Amino acid sequence: MAHYTLIARINAGDGNFPFVNVQFSKNHRPIPIEGATYYLRPSNSGKRTPIKIGKDITAAHAARIRMEDEKPSDKLAALHTGPSPVVTTAAPRKTVRGYCLEMICADFLAGASLGEDQT
């Protein structure tokens, strides 16, 4: 089972961007660091190359838990929580007005006129 360390890359102000360990509160929640980008560093494998997660501390913590519970896959890009493409699978819902207009137009095109009784 691999162990992952949650680290953050911060701007030190002098042109350096060091990695620092993320501190955890008493209830085991990570303490956010302002302006940091979060990474996971594997500890048990031969490579210790950090895996970029993003700027959201909650997503980084969730990724750490997920990676420790599961076998790490080669597709680590799925952990990145950047903007995802919007996929619409369902047709947009109709409004009441749009549905009524559609029904009136369907009746009119079928031969009924708006001024006549349909008896």
Does residue 45 or residue 54 have the better pLDDT? 54
Residue 8 pLDDT? 93
SS3 24: strand
Token pair listed for 108? 């009119």
The pLDDT assigned to 75 comes to: 47
For residue 2, give the DSSP letter: -
Report the predicted TM-score, pTM, of the whole model to 2 decimal places. 0.56
Higher pLDDT residue, 103 or 116?
103
pLDDT band for position 112 (cuts 50, 70, 90): low
Beta bridge partners of 19: 9
29-42 pLDDT, tens digit each: 999 999 999 999 88
93 or 23, higher pLDDT: 23
The domain spans of the chain are 4-79
Distance (Å, rounded) from C-alpha 4 to C-alpha 55? 17
